[in-house]
Structure 1
Amino acid sequence: MVSTESPHGPVLPPRFFFGVSLAAVGFFALWTWVVRPWAPPPSFDMSWAEIWRDWSETHAAFSGVMVYLTDIGGVAAMALLTVMAVIWQSAVHNRTLVVAWIAVMIGCVILNSGTKHIFDRARPGELLRAPVVHERNPSYPSGHSMGSTIGYGMLAYSLLLAERRRGARALILLLCATIVLGVGLSRIYLRAHWLSDVVAGWTVGLAWLFFCLGWLERWMRTP
């Protein structure tokens, strides 16, 4: 099936993706039990928020970089990335990845909204937040961290399918991982989220992304 749609075939065995997804689910469950997002934030969350609030007051220029990083992981950026990816995969006649992009990103929206409302955790208070932060929806897990993990993870996967050179593949993974890390750290820096929200967002995003990629890899191996 992939031989007619992707030049280089599947990336890794489905069991690898399913295994990582299962491990991420387990870590999220353990992390949630430790953090207890239904209770007041743990001391390490408060400490990190206060550290970055105090530091940002004397490093205003750095805040602009953090705002840019947070924007490239936002809803608008993820929607634009999805549209561009669908256009790209349609142009190369890869219907499998067109469907995958749409399904994975719609699932991301549903999963993030659902988990946020289950835990209904409050974001850092007004005295902690950066002035540019205006979100008021529940905090746990971070939507930017989750969405960027899935969106840029899908981008990396799509590029890896078309790239054979080992050095280029390593660069793709490094760049996409750096973006995801930067988006998450920007949410902590701006105090839009607690640190534990961001870790949870990365974890849930990884779990959903790899679960979907496992099924995609299995589908592409079907005769």
Structure 2
Amino acid sequence: MQKLYTRLLTLLTFLAVEVGVLLLVFLTTLTAFYYLTRVVFEQRSMLLDQAAFDYVDQLRAAAPALTPWVVGVTFFASAPFLVAAGVIVPLGLAWRKRRREALEVFLAVAGSALLNQLFKTHFHRLRPDTALFPQVGLSFPSGHAMIGTALYGCVAWLLWRHGRHPLLGLGLVLWAVLIGLTRIYLHVHYATDVLAGFAAGLGWLVLLRSGLQLWWRR
């Protein structure tokens, strides 16, 4: 009986810590997203965006050969890639009898893509007119940053949760950040678009993870 009580107490403590961490992360991302909307749409401040563009312009002038590499990196959160990954990765997980993980990855991509379009339609911010390559669609928040964070962050979380390749999981998170930064380099998004995308993508992951855990425990 004492052993059962100890195990139950340990489980409850773990759940309380998990809920606390998820709540803290979600509130942080929500605050960051809200702050960025105030900076962009109320204060109309371009200080951060212009400073970021000035920096990447200097970098591009100093190393012009970097641009083709940046274009290659940014492809890994493009619409064709995300559609393929959002289908192939879940199918692969389902084939390996990881149906819950398959559902988690699919919803991470599909849900963040839907939310991104809703946000863009609502805020209706036009893209920078200095883009190196023509891009269709609206600007805030960055889809590459938001959906990329959701996809790679979800896969990184699954790798960490199952205790496999934690360094690979960390690498995927850094890869998602790098993809977001390429959007600033190419002038197809403002820095505030990318930061908002990171915040929204992470916030969606927390909501998704919490919702699925509650559903599965029921």
- When the two chains are superposed, the root-mean-square deviation of aligned CA atoms in Å is 2.2
SS at structure 2 position matched to 1:106: helix
Q: Deviations over 1:154-202 (max 9, x none)?
A: 11122223335xxx32x02320121011101111111111111100000
- Higher relative contact order (Cα pairs below 8 Å, separated by 6+ residues): 1
Q: Which residue identity does 1:141 align to in structure 2?
A: P
Query: 2:47 maps to what in 1?
Result: 43
Asked whether 1:176 is paired with 2:180, we answer no
Following the alignment from structure 2 to structure 1, what is the Cα–Cα distance between the partners of residues 52 and 178?
A: 16
Identity %: 25
Partners of 1:73 and 1:147 within 8 A in 2: yes
Q: Deviations over 1:51-104 (max 9, x none)?
A: 423542442210011111111111122222222221221122122222222222
TM-score (norm 1): 0.82
Query: Cα gap change, 1:203/1:121 in structure 2, threshold over 3 Å: closer, same or farther?
Result: same
Following the alignment from structure 1 to structure 2, what is the Cα–Cα distance between the partners of residues 209 and 142?
A: 16
Following the alignment from structure 2 to structure 1, what is the Cα–Cα distance between the partners of residues 21 and 212?
A: 12
Following the alignment from structure 2 to structure 1, what is the Cα–Cα distance between the partners of residues 19 and 91?
A: 26
Following the alignment from structure 1 to structure 2, what is the Cα–Cα distance between the partners of residues 98 and 78?
A: 15
Following the alignment from structure 2 to structure 1, what is the Cα–Cα distance between the partners of residues 32 and 67?
A: 31
Q: Which residue identity does 2:34 align to in structure 1?
A: A
Number of aligned positions between the proteins: 203
More helix by share: 2
Partners of 2:144 and 2:180 within 8 A in 1: yes
Query: 2:116 maps to what in 1?
Result: 112
Query: 1:137 maps to what in 2?
Result: 137
Query: 1:5 maps to what in 2?
Result: none
Deviation at 1:203, TM superposition (A): 0.5
Deviation at 1:29, TM superposition (A): 0.6
Structure 1: runs of 5+ lacking an equivalent: 1-9
Following the alignment from structure 1 to structure 2, what is the Cα–Cα distance between the partners of residues 201 and 112?
A: 8
Q: Which residue identity does 2:143 align to in structure 1?
A: G
Structure 2: runs of 5+ lacking an equivalent: 1-14
Larger radius of gyration: 2
Following the alignment from structure 1 to structure 2, what is the Cα–Cα distance between the partners of residues 16 and 218?
A: 16
SS at structure 1 position matched to 2:77: coil
Q: Which residue identity does 1:186 align to in structure 2?
A: T
1:27 to 20, 32, 35: 32
